[in-house]
Amino acid sequence: MAEDRDDMETAALDWVIRMRDPGFDGWEDFEAWLSADPAHADVYHRFATADEDMGDLLKTAPPRPLIAMPERRPLTRRAWLGGAIAASVAALVGIGMIDRQPSLYQIETAPGMRRTITLEDGSKIALNGGTSIKLNRRDARYAVLERGEALFDVIHNEDAPFKVAVGDATLIDVGTRFNVLREKGATAVQVAEGAVIYNPDSEAVRLDPGQTLQARDGDTKLALGTVAPAAVAGWKDGRLIYDGQTMAEVAADLARWSGQTVRADPRVAGQRFRGVLSLADGDDIVRLAPLLDVDVRKSGQEWVLAPHHQ
């Protein structure tokens, strides 16, 4: 049986109200609700945008004389809709706030935390730990990866290609599945399915399945390479796969995954590693030492990948 539209709107509004709470921790339930029906995301974003517009309109209202306020009552669906309608009317008669609202909104994950976002068209973005991304309320086919790592599973649309801004570059989706890592002024792209075009208006480098690209801000030289398509975004399944990456890169991956501070001692930071690290939440990093061929030591609140004891 199709879900009643009124029930869908009631559920969306409940999520908007619950997520006002700074202590909100129901992300998994929220994502499950979004994934249950593509229409859920559309209804939720419509209410969330109206809620933000109403809040900003209230912020810009002129100060009024202090008066005694009645006891505050819980926000109900009828009250919220009334406020949202009032805010919309105010905008239409001349305040014009909606047009000036920033269209981008930010989603972040803490180190050690992973989550998946479902967009209006059914496309999905999986975020690794320590990631910050901006999405566009007015254009569901656009994202800005500020830092961290994200796997894009895109519903392909030739008439509206998906665009990812990262550093000073733009990626255009020509397929469906690709991983992007942004860290310390560097960008790394790996393609699992379909294709991605890097900077279509300048270099226009096409990456097909199994191809990789690394770029650094301000450097015109691009490093191209290969990867097994099945190994792309192995972090989603708790597998970190390496083919000659440095110990400094391994340390950064472990920090994103575990939520702990991990760094490589300068004496081993450039050491190359090839192999697979199988991880689980709450894993003990010490057990990885034999695989990495380094010592793993605790120093204060951080883990250090260090040379073997002499």
Digitized pLDDT (tens) for each residue of the chain, 310 residues in all: 556 677 777 887 877 777 766 566 677 777 777 777 777 877 777 777 676 555 554 444 454 444 344 444 455 555 555 555 444 444 443 434 434 445 888 999 999 999 999 998 899 999 999 999 999 988 989 999 999 999 999 998 888 999 999 999 999 998 789 999 999 999 999 999 999 999 999 999 999 999 999 999 989 899 999 999 988 999 998 889 898 899 999 999 999 988 899 999 999 999 999 999 988 766 678 889 999 999 999 888 899 999 987 5
Report the DSSP beta bridge partners of residue 178: 152, 191
CA 150 to chain centre: 6
CATH fold of 238-306: Phage tail protein beta-alpha-beta fold (3.55.50)
Crossing angle of the two packed helices 5-18 and 27-36, in degrees rounded to 10? 160
Q: In the prediction, which pLDDT does 174 show?
A: 87
Q: In the prediction, which pLDDT does 283 show?
A: 66
Cβ partners under 8 Å of residue 29, min gap 6: none
Q: In the prediction, which pLDDT does 198 show?
A: 97
CA 119, CA 105: separation in Å to the nearest integer? 13
CA 100, CA 60: separation in Å to the nearest integer? 13
Closest C-alpha to 156, from 126, 123, 202, 198: 123
Crossing angle of the two packed helices 38-59 and 5-18, in degrees rounded to 10? 50
Domain spans of the chain, in order of start: 5-59+76-100, 104-231, 238-306
State the Cα angle at 269 between 213 and 249, rounded to 5°. Answer: 35
CA 130, CA 147: separation in Å to the nearest integer? 8
Q: In the prediction, which pLDDT does 292 show?
A: 93
**CA dihedral sign, ordered 120, 126, 129, 133:** negative
Q: Which CATH number is associated with domain 104-231? A: 2.60.120.1440
**E strands along the chain, which residues?**
104-109, 115-118, 124-127, 131-136, 139-153, 163-166, 169-173, 177-183, 186-193, 196-198, 205-207, 211-216, 223-226, 239-246, 261-264, 272-278, 295-299, 302-306
